[in-house]
Structures are given as C-alpha cells and as structure tokens.
Structure 1
Amino acid sequence: MKLPAKSDLRADTAWVVFQVLELGKSSREALALAQARHSKQDSAWLQEMAMGVFRHLPQLQIWLRALLDKPLKGNKKILEHLILLGFYQLAFSRVSDHAAVSATVNAADALGGVGLKGLVNAILRNFQRQQMASNTSDDAIIQSGLPKWLYKRLHAAYPTQIDAIVDAMNTPAPVWLRINRQRSSLDEYCSALTARDIPFTLSAEHPDAVILSQRLPITSLPGYAEGWFSVQDGAAQLAAPLLNLRANQRVLDCCAAPGGKSTHMLETEPALDKLIALDNESARLTRMSENMARLQLSAELVCADAADTRSWWDGNQFDRILLDAPCSATGVIRRHPDIRWLRKASDIEALQTLQYRILENLWPTLKSGGVLVYATCSVLPVENTAQIARFLSEHSDASLLKMDSQETAEQPGRQILPGEQQMDGFYYARLLKS
C-alpha cells in the first residue's frame, strides 16, 4: 500500500476508505500507515471519519449515485471515496459545513485530482443546496449500514432483536480492562483510577473487569508499563473462567494470538503444568510475546496450522482446550466497522468448513474427562450452535457441559449479542470428553 505523495488529512482518510472498500485491505493496517504522518489529534479525527464512512456507507452511496452522473474510473476512482467522506462530514459529523467542503475539495490535489476539484466542489455544493442530509432512506437495510446479505441473515436469526443488534453494531464499543490479578487487584486498580479522576464502572459477571467511562490513551492509564491490566472486552473475559482451570493441567489455547485469553488463563491459574498458545501467523505471535512480557507471564508459543496436528502435537493430550475458532467476526463489527464490507456472504461456508475441521482434528488431542471450550466472535448460528449440534450428533464421546439449564444438544452454548451487558457479540460452548 502506497500513501499519497502529499500528506493531507482528508486525502489520507479517503485513501484508507479506498484501501478497504476497493482493495479489501484491513483498516487496521491502512490506518497505521496513514496515522503515522499525523498528530495524535488528527490521527483520532482520521480514524473517526473513516469508521463513520464504513458505518453509513449504504446511505452515502445512494447520495453519490444521485449526484455523480458517471462513475469515476482508474486512478480517479479514489475521488469517489473523498466525496463520500465529504458527505459524511456534512451529514453526520460535527465538522463545520465550510471546512467540510473547502478542505475536502482541496484534498483532491493530493489524490491526483487537480482537474476534478470543480466536480468535487459541485457535488458537495449540490448536496448542501438540495439539503440531502435530511433526505435519508427509510429502507431498514440502508438505515442499518450493513450489507444486504448480513442484515437478512441477522433478521432471520433474531427477528425480534434485530433493531437492538443493529443499534449496538453502530455504536462505538466501550473500553474494557481486565486487571492482572498476579500484579494488582480490582480494588487496588479502582483506587488508582479514582486517584487520577478517571471515571469507570464495574460488571457483576466479571470479577477482574473495569469499564472506562471515557476513551483515553491506553498507555497513559495507571500501571500500563507495569502490566497491571490488559485491554479485553467483557465477552472475551468469560473464556478463562469457563475452562475451570486447575494446577498442573496441560492446556492448549488454539488460534491464540494476540494472547488476551492466554494471559487471562495464566493470571487465573499460574500453576498450570504447561500452556501452549498456537497460532498460524508469526507476526501475531510476535505481538503476543510482547504482551506476555509486559504482563510478566510466559507460555510456549507455537506457529502452526491448528488443523494439522501432526505438524505440532507431541502426542501428550491436554486437560483443557480453548478453540477460539476463525470466524466471520460479525460480533465485533462495532469495534471494527470495516468488517461489514471486508466479509462477504461467500466467506461463511468456507469458514464453517475450516471451523469444523479444526474442531474435529483437535478432539483426539483432548484427554478423556477433559474439556474443550469452543468460542467465536460471531453472531451467525451457522458458525455457532449449528457447528456444536452437528459435532455432538457425530461424536458419541462428546457431551454438552452446560453453562445454562436451557441449553440442549440441538441448541447448545451461549450466544452473546452485541451490546448485551456492554459486551461484544460472542459465542461459547463447552464439550466434555467421556
């Protein structure tokens, strides 16, 4: 990915949007490159605007089609994304109309659109003149800001909860911290936050969690360098307790990077015999190693394909396995709005196949009497309840270790929906090997 030669805040924001929507790149990677050449304040603005475009894309595209006679092509295509950014500023942001228009038009220079500045200006002026910001679609799918295929799947699965799910997906997520009980305690950390006048709330279901009431730079929080806490959503914090860890157990965390659940396991039960953290991306394991070092924890990190057990398993079975399976990530769209446009309907079947293959191949590595926790950050039943129901029906040595009395073999596990108790969307099921 190559940034525009000239640094311009709005041009760089449009470039990030272009990388995601046209080239299928991750916003995290594109943002890191773009933000590196801007101040902290401008970097925050850049991210807020890009994420806003992703959340409102269907409506922004309707306006674009109404005002742009012919689609732009080739190296001019990126200017369409600059116009989308202009619409977003005018309709949904606190940016003044004058700045939204003039600065956006000037940004065309940095994107190689000197000859099209007049077009950009005319479209944005027409948008204002026709008061199009107040002319929004009443179509539920357009209003949701989701692709049609995803909205329809969510509506089919959760017909009475669809509005709440959409609202949660379009609301920025709060910052959850998990206190490292090997370095501090919840009471001690709450006192440190209070001393710094940092407001927070607590969660009855999460004994190590703090929810910040405002977004702050993580590195500025008390005890960051000393490893007093990790940033981890409340839904993800449920994984380690579900494993019911005990001293001297041999544990596998599969698809482990960047390591939030692994470190929680080590904090919960420091006397494990061994924790193997497995992931197939070396760069993510490097990041995990850095997290481990900050928290003063250690595990055996292995880079391998989880499904190819012959390449990494030594034959010694595990007492506990956490399979945080590769998934559609539809439960964390509120944190990563670009997921809605990066993920395609055609991806889901391939993900289902991969999830089931990993689950089947890991099962022989679990001891008799051992527990496997299957987890995803998806809200699609085909990746969750359907997978576990199928597995139970095909494996006589697997039984459901219920977390709730309402679970059945046909409807196993716990589905957390986005926004539930301020958590991300997540799914858990526990399997006991007989």
Structure 2
Amino acid sequence: MRLPPDSLAFQMLGAATAVRAVSEGTALPQAIEDAAAQLRLDRVRDAATRGALQDIAYRTMRQFGTARALVTRLVTRPPGAQVDSLLAVALALLLEHAPGPRDRQDQDADAGRPGYSTFTVVDQAVSAAASEPKTAHARGLVNAVLRRFLRERKALLADVNRDEQARWNLPPWWLQMLREAYPDQWTALAASANVRPPMTVRVNTARVSVQQYRTDLANAGLAGHVVGPQAVRLVRAVPVTQLPGFAEGVVSVQDAGAQLAAPLLEVADGMRVLDACAAPGGKTGHLLELADIDVTAVESDPQRATRIGENLARLGKQAKIVVGDASRPADWWDGQPFDRILADVPCSASGIVRRHPDIRWLRRETDIAKLITEQRRIVSQLWPLLKPGGILVYVTCSIFPTEGEEQARWFGAQLADAIRLQAPGQLLPGTHAMQAAGADGDRDALAGTSGTSGTSLPSDHDGFFYARFQKRA
C-alpha cells in the first residue's frame, strides 16, 4: 500500500526508520537524511514532508526512554526492529497528550507545532505498519498496543517510571553525573533535557540594530524577545527562509549562549585569529562580524568544513578554511602566531541535549574520559601558537564539571605563562547560570561585566562552559 507523502502514516514510517538507525548508532541528522533518501524525498519539492519527518523523529528521541520502556512492558515477543521503532514513535506522540502544567518557555517553543489527536496517531500508526510487507503482519499488534496504552495510561506510566531512564529519558550514568555535580538542581536539569529548545538568532548589529530587527520580524508576522546583546529569541520557530534578512546575512541562527564566544576573544582589526574545531562556522562568522580580522578556521571533518564556507558565503565573509586536526598543528600551521585562539573543543554535548536529543542515547559513560584527554591535548597543542599577551578562550557545550571547571583548573596549572581571566564559567540550560572560579573570583563575571570583555549573559541559552587564559607578555 502506497502512503501519500503528506500523510502522518508516511511521516511516522520515515521517523521510525530514523529512530531505528539511531538505536543502531547513527546520529539523528544523518539518520533522517538516510530515511529521506530511502523514501525518495526531494529536498525542495518534499520540504514539508521532510520537516514533519524530522519533527516527529526529534520528538521521539526526547521521549525515547519512556517509549522504549512502554514497548518492553506491552509487547511480550520482539516484533522486529522496524515495528519496535514505529511503536516508539507512536507512543512518543501519544505521551505528548499528558495532562499537567507546562512550562511557558515550552509552550512558546511549541507554538505552531503540529498536534495530533490520539485517534489519528493510532489510526496512522496502523496504516504505517500495514503499508510495508515486512511490517504488515504487525498491524493488529500496533493497534492493540496503542489502544491498551490509552486505556491504562496512568497505571502503565506509574509502572515504567519506577525506572529512572524511563522517567527522565536519560541514561543512568548521565543522571548520576548530574546528581554528583548539581545535588540541588539535577532534577530541573534532567527535565530541561526534554524541553523543545527555542529558536534564537544572532543579529549582525553592524548592519541593523536589534530593536530594528524586532520590528522587521513584526512586519513579517513574527515575534521575538531580546535575550542577549545580539540575540533575539523567536516566540515560534520557523524555517530560516521566513526570517527577514537571513539570505542576505543580516541574521544567523545561533543559540544565545553560543553567542558569548566571539565577544570573549576581544578581537580588534588586524588580528590573526584561530577558530579551532570550527564547524559549522557560526562562531567563525560572528568573529568576522565583530572586526576586520584574519581568521583561520580548522575542522577535521571535510564535509563539515564545507559547511563553514557555505555559511560564511551567506554572510559575505571569508576565512582560511583548513581541514585538519586541531591537536596536530604541525600538519597545518604556517608558523605565524595568533593574537587570539578559540578552542571550542569536542565534548559530551550534555549542555545542548535538548537541541540534539539523540546524543544521550549515543554517548557512553566511557566516552567522557576519552573526551577529557582529547580536550587537554587540543588546548596544550594550541597554546604554543598563541602570541605573548594573546588570549585563548576554552569552550565546551557541556554541563559536566569534568569538562568545564576541572579542565580550566588543569589548564591553569599546566600551561606555561597562563593567566586565567574572568569569564562566565558554567552556564546551565535555560535561565540558570553558575559562576566558575575565575582569576579573582569576582562575581561581576556572572553579572555581565566579565573583565574587559563587556560580555553580558543572555537570559535564555543552552548549556556552555567558558574559560579565558592570557599568555604572559
């Protein structure tokens, strides 16, 4: 049975294929691309269908712990990987109908997002199963499982939520790290991982003021709130093609917390700047918007390096893009020292899990130690490339102290001639912020007057850690 591409059944089937791939180790963006290719979806002609497929897959990843626990509880015999994933997708959509108070931010972020009645979800899940020879035998099972969930919802959720992974949709080791680091905040942080993130743009204030851009948004029928010096958070997420000035490079989509990186470097005209681990180029573009500088952007993945060039072209900016390993500068460095270095290093991505919900299911506890070693190797290798008097900014999109404050202290002790400067330290997702001990422990670093950088903390952001080091002259 051929399903219409605009049907929920077709989109659920595609999402189930992507979810299955994540279960087998593929990152969600690539899994969605593969599923779209398998379904022969054209990027332009079928943009709406691709968007719906992606939306459903992301919703499922945020509810995957609960959904998987329910499948295990409701199905006595393994139905096969594709049926298993289809059930997880359907259950995740049904879980969104849960009663109870909702966070205002979540409501705003969800505005305009398609909602489906419970009847529609069940009906279309059965149609999706019936459409494929390999899953048609399970259409009765799909119908029975989903209807039973609706009948016994309260008791079933009480049962599966005894398991912490099902309750919080986070692996046990992840939850343990949150408990140890944030004993008074861990439940709020765990819950925030399952909140749909806001869409925030960075306004190029050299071309238009933030307030003028809010007016431009209003004229386009969109609303936004100022949440940082150049950051505007949209009330409703929209395709970038609907953003005024996006094609012309007036604005870029970038989380408000990520927008702190470039100003912390305090760049000035004529400086040589290294952006290590630069893809997809958001911070590179921001640096070039702030001053007339010579930027080298290093990225180890050739495909991701291509995206840097594409993003800079839209902004009308240029940088020297190098495909190389940031921890092996001998392979790509020209021998000329840099005035500034941005070390946005690989990490657990625990601070952006609400934006990339598959990360929690792909990461392993053993990855953390490997990442810590890699972070130290990268910064240690980049430090000699910095001029005396120059500044290096260390950034991770992590909320685990082992990748944040503990690393900053290690760098301060190990790097020759390093002076630790004020910086925001640990930013927690949402509106939470914590100060990491800076060079003098000054609380102004948290209040928004971090040394000479003049960087104000945004009011809504993902989780990041920032530390700054200056090399003695």
Cα-to-partner distance string for 1:108-140 (whole Å, 9 max, x where unaligned) = 232611222222223223323433576332555
Query: Structure 1: 5+ residue runs without aligned partners?
Result: none
Say which of 437, 443, 447 aligns to 1:407.
437
How far apart in 2 are the matches of 1:282 and 1:412?
A: 41
Shift in Å, 1:18:
0.3
Q: Which residue of 2 aligns with 1:157?
A: 181
Q: Which residue of 2 aligns with 1:115?
A: 137
Cα-to-partner distance string for 1:289-346 (whole Å, 9 max, x where unaligned) = 1111111111111111111111011111111000000111110011111111011111
Shift in Å, 1:285:
1.6
How far apart in 2 are the matches of 1:408 and 1:231?
A: 30
Q: Which residue of 1 aligns with 2:148?
A: 126
Alignment-mate amino acid for residue 310 of structure 2: E
Secondary structure of the corresponding residue to residue 346 of structure 1:
helix
RMSD of the alignment, in Å? Answer: 2.7
Shift in Å, 1:394:
2.0
Instruction: Indicate the larger mover: 33-42 or 363-372.
Output: 33-42
Q: Which residue of 2 aligns with 1:87?
A: 91
Alignment-mate amino acid for residue 84 of structure 1: A
Q: Which residue of 2 aligns with 1:135?
A: 157
- Kept in 1, the 8 Å contact 2:421–2:439? The answer is no
Q: Does 1:99 align with 2:100?
A: no
Secondary structure of the corresponding residue to residue 390 of structure 1:
helix
How far apart in 2 are the matches of 1:202 and 1:130?
A: 44
Distance 1:299 1:412, change over 3 A: farther
Secondary structure of the corresponding residue to residue 193 of structure 1:
helix
- Kept in 2, the 8 Å contact 1:90–1:133? The answer is no
TM-score, length of structure 1 as denominator length? 0.90
Distance 1:298 1:138, change over 3 A: same
Say which of 206, 221, 243 aligns to 1:197.
221
Q: Does 1:261 align with 2:283?
A: yes
Q: Does 1:171 align with 2:195?
A: yes
- Matches for 1:185-264 after TM superposition, within 5 Å: 185-203=209-227, 206-264=228-286
Q: Does 1:424 align with 2:459?
A: no
Alignment-mate amino acid for residue 257 of structure 1: A
- Kept in 2, the 8 Å contact 1:275–1:300? The answer is yes
Shift in Å, 1:253:
0.4
How far apart in 2 are the matches of 1:349 and 1:336?
A: 21
Alignment-mate amino acid for residue 30 of structure 2: E
TM-score, length of structure 2 as denominator length? 0.83
How far apart in 2 are the matches of 1:375 and 1:406?
A: 13
Secondary structure of the corresponding residue to residue 419 of structure 2:
strand
Q: Which residue of 1 aligns with 2:295?
A: 275
- Kept in 2, the 8 Å contact 1:259–1:291? The answer is yes
Secondary structure of the corresponding residue to residue 423 of structure 2:
coil
- Kept in 1, the 8 Å contact 2:383–2:415? The answer is no
Cα-to-partner distance string for 1:44-80 (whole Å, 9 max, x where unaligned) = 43233222221222222222122111234xxx32211
How far apart in 2 are the matches of 1:111 and 1:178?
A: 47
Shift in Å, 1:420:
7.7
Q: Does 1:386 align with 2:406?
A: yes
Instruction: Indicate the larger mover: 329-338 or 190-199.
Output: 190-199
How far apart in 1 are the matches of 2:123 and 2:316?
A: 50
Q: Does 1:45 align with 2:67?
A: no
Shift in Å, 1:409:
6.3
Shift in Å, 1:282:
1.4
Say which of 354, 358, 365 aligns to 1:345.
365
Q: Which residue of 1 aligns with 2:14?
A: 12
Cα-to-partner distance string for 1:76-128 (whole Å, 9 max, x where unaligned) = 32211111122223332442232222221221232611222222223223323
Instruction: Indicate the larger mover: 113-122 or 235-244.
Output: 113-122
Cα-to-partner distance string for 1:348-383 (whole Å, 9 max, x where unaligned) = 111111111011111110111111000010111111
How far apart in 1 are the matches of 2:442 and 2:90?
A: 46
Q: Which residue of 1 aligns with 2:471?
A: 433
Q: Which residue of 2 aligns with 1:29?
A: 30
Distance 1:293 1:100, change over 3 A: same
Distance 1:95 1:146, change over 3 A: same
- Matches for 1:47-86 after TM superposition, within 5 Å: 47-72=54-79, 76-86=80-90
How far apart in 1 are the matches of 2:233 and 2:93?
A: 30
- Kept in 1, the 8 Å contact 2:18–2:34? The answer is no
- Kept in 1, the 8 Å contact 2:268–2:291? The answer is yes
- Kept in 2, the 8 Å contact 1:179–1:186? The answer is yes
How many pairs does the alignment contain?
421
Secondary structure of the corresponding residue to residue 422 of structure 2:
coil
Percentage of pairs with the same residue: 38
- Kept in 2, the 8 Å contact 1:14–1:78? The answer is yes
Query: Structure 2: 5+ residue runs without aligned partners?
Result: 98-114, 425-434, 448-456
Shift in Å, 1:391:
1.7
Say which of 156, 168, 192 aligns to 1:144.
168
Secondary structure of the corresponding residue to residue 278 of structure 1:
strand
- Kept in 2, the 8 Å contact 1:5–1:110? The answer is no
Distance 1:188 1:131, change over 3 A: closer
- Kept in 2, the 8 Å contact 1:415–1:428? The answer is no
How far apart in 2 are the matches of 1:87 and 1:225?
A: 38
How far apart in 1 are the matches of 2:312 and 2:280?
A: 10
Shift in Å, 1:15:
0.5
How far apart in 2 are the matches of 1:243 and 1:42?
A: 41
Secondary structure of the corresponding residue to residue 377 of structure 2:
helix
